[in-house]
Amino acid sequence: MSSLCKKGYQTEQDAYLLTIPEETTVRRTEISRSLFLFVGSAAVIGSLGGCGGSDENKGAAAPPPSDSTAIATPQTTCSDFLGQTIEGATVTRAQVVPAANGVPERCTVLAQMPQDLQFEVNLPTSWNKRTVFLGGGGFDGSITRLPSGSNSPNIAARGFATIATNHGHTSANTQAWALDPEMLNEYAYLAVPRVLPAAKAIMQTYYGAQPVSSAKIIYEGCSGGGRQGLIQAQRFPKLFDGVISRAPANAYTPQFLWYQRTYKQLAKPGAALSTAKIKTISDAVYRRCDALDGVADRIVSRPDICQFDPAELKCSGAESDACLTDPQIDSARTFYAATNIANGSYTWPGFPYGGEEQQGTPTHMWGGAISKLLMDGFMKYFVAQDAMVDPLTLEPEDYTARLNQLVTMIDAVNPDLRQFRARGGKLILWTGLTDWLITANNATDYYTKVVTEAGGQAEADKFVEYFTAPGVNHCAGGTGADTVDLVGPMFDWIEKGVPPSQAGMVATQSTPLPNEKPVKRPLCKYPQYARYNGMGDPTENSSFTCVTP
């Protein structure tokens, strides 16, 4: 028996578990066992050699019979889960939800694991043999639920089984839970691999072992959920057949440090930017850059070649809403410029031009409520670990040891996806170009590094594709086409070998202005963009062609 086996680890498991620092107080043996149970088909067990007989796995419940038949009484099968403890998870709710509003009948199972880790499994009576893990967002604390729960439209109506978790806590109004090392670890990276074995066992009981073991499972999430998806691909590459990461908050620590730096700038005397001033900046960007894709429609598709300097709006006389003072010019430049923080220890790319006025959502970064709330919580509870600290006076240089620890725990920036690729994993990256909470340049930067690490574009194309959505805000909203199904194309890529870029995907605007048609655009694989053909309705996708710059 190898030294790894003697320590309770399985050789098939991700090597990342062996590198977790002791100070993060990870329950290594528990996670090792959970991962083993999740991948423990007969074929996999055989590949583990001497680890297969570990005492740690003795007494585990035998899988249900593989000769699955049609579910005759879903109500009875579902209700039988209530009160059971399955792979360390106690079922606290199990009920059949009748078909309604286009969502088919399903069994919903809610379960609890220590300390406060909860998850929910939705089991359609008519299952399409495909499973989607729904990511969270922000600081989490709640379960992503159907019928929405996914950026891909109508996922609840198409027969997918779904899994989702609160990522280890249920605190809604404070981030004080982050003071608990165990809860912070679960939020950072452990919740998904802890939940999956129990969720799979519930599915096997309901559907039978054979259909569950042969079914494909993918992950889809946006923002914090996009980060969580990349965590799986990087650290637990055997858990999912595919990962859809939208607007990922993967460069997590520098992102929050950039928030702090920006709010410090906006707090300087005379440096704040009013709604009217922001609109002045936005209008200037549209005048300069809107038509670079062939049509002026308040959608900037080529921010990469947009040439604009906020100094062009400098007040030449008395200040007004139509101009900027010197401190306001400095504030505007802060948003577009790449930033080095804590003497260059942490870097964050600037934001692309376009959509500055789209502050109807509270996530915009020009002084938005959500980004300020996120920054406050991070600085108090993650960094200083002190609720009384003033987030704006905290100096990152004084906390580099803690910040480096957080980077190791939370950030998902490793471009080396060889293990994920080797087991056939596929990755889709997507972001809105007018995302003013997490810059689109962050996703672009990560994708570029993945391509380089993979050995070039041809090799990267075999397992990763990246799409940008002009005019789209954080995860959704904006003047652009923000709604597109990536789940279906992902399964087609996994099961049929058809890359999403060859699927003719069309995105649709979910929030058009009153009396306006929703914008439709072809979704173009980066670095291509949708260029207007010179004729036709500019709200229709047929009027645009994906072209290479």
Tens digits of residue pLDDT in 17-52: 333 433 343 333 333 433 333 333 333 323 333 333
CA 196/CA 287 separation, integer angstroms: 50
* Band of residue 343 on the pLDDT scale cut at 50, 70, 90: confident
Tens digits of residue pLDDT in 183-205: 999 999 999 999 999 999 999 99
Give me the pLDDT at residue 28, please. Answer: 37
- The strand pairing partners of 89, in sequence order, are 86
User: Which residues lie closer than 8 Å to 295 by C-beta, 6 or more apart?
Assistant: 532, 538
480 secondary structure, DSSP code: S
State whether residue 3 is helix, strand or coil.
Answer: helix
Look at residues 159, 164, 162 and name the one whose alpha carbon lies nearest to residue 104: 159
CA 112/CA 242 separation, integer angstroms: 26
Give me the pLDDT at residue 251, please. Answer: 97
Look at residues 217, 239, 244, 247 and name the one whose alpha carbon lies nearest to residue 229: 244
Query: Which DSSP helix (H) or strand (E) runs through 469?
Result: strand 464-469
536 secondary structure, DSSP code: S
15 secondary structure, DSSP code: G
Give me the pLDDT at residue 359, please. Answer: 52
Q: Where are the beta strands (DSSP E) in 297-377?
A: 339-341, 346-348
State whether residue 204 is helix, strand or coil.
Answer: helix
Give me the pLDDT at residue 370, please. Answer: 78
Peptide bond before residue 269 is cis, with ω within 30 degrees of 0: no
Which token pair is 472?
A: 């789209």
- Model confidence at 15: pLDDT above 80: no
Tens digits of residue pLDDT in 176-187: 999 999 999 999
Tens digits of residue pLDDT in 125-151: 999 999 999 999 999 999 998 887 888
State whether residue 206 is helix, strand or coil.
Answer: helix
How far is it between the farthest Cα atoms of the chain? 82
User: Which residues lie closer than 8 Å to 330 by C-beta, 6 or more apart?
Assistant: 265, 271
Give me the pLDDT at residue 422, please. Answer: 97
Instruction: Report residue 118: phi and psi, to 5°.
Output: -120, 155
CA 462/CA 286 separation, integer angstroms: 37
Q: Output the average pLDDT for the chain.
A: 87
Share of the chain above pLDDT 70, in %: 85
Q: What angle do CA 304, 308, 310 make, to 5 degrees?
A: 135
- Model confidence at 163: pLDDT above 60: yes
More confident residue, 2 or 223: 223
Amino acid at 506: V
Decide if 312 contacts 228 (C-beta within 8 A). no
Buried/exposed 236-263: b ≥16 CB within 10 Å, e otherwise: bbbbbbbbbbbbbbbbbbbbbbbbbbbb
CA distances from 323 to 268, 326, 328, 330, 335 (A): 18, 10, 9, 13, 17
Amino acid at 447: Y
Share of the chain above pLDDT 90, in %: 77
Give me the pLDDT at residue 202, please. Answer: 97
Give me the pLDDT at residue 307, please. Answer: 95
The predicted model gives 217-221 an average pLDDT of 98
Decide if 517 contacts 539 (C-beta within 8 A). yes
Q: What is the 3-state secondary structure (H, E, C) of 137-190?
A: CCCCCCCCCCCCCCCCCCHHHHCCEEEEECCCCCCCCCCHHHHCHHHHHHHHHH
Amino acid at 288: R
The predicted model gives 246-267 an average pLDDT of 95
305 secondary structure, DSSP code: G
Tens digits of residue pLDDT in 54-101: 333 333 444 444 444 444 577 888 999 999 999 999 999 999 999 998
Which token pair is 177?
A: 């839970």
Tens digits of residue pLDDT in 449-468: 999 999 999 999 999 999 99
Q: Where are the beta strands (DSSP E) in 291-342?
A: 339-341
- Model confidence at 536: pLDDT above 90: yes
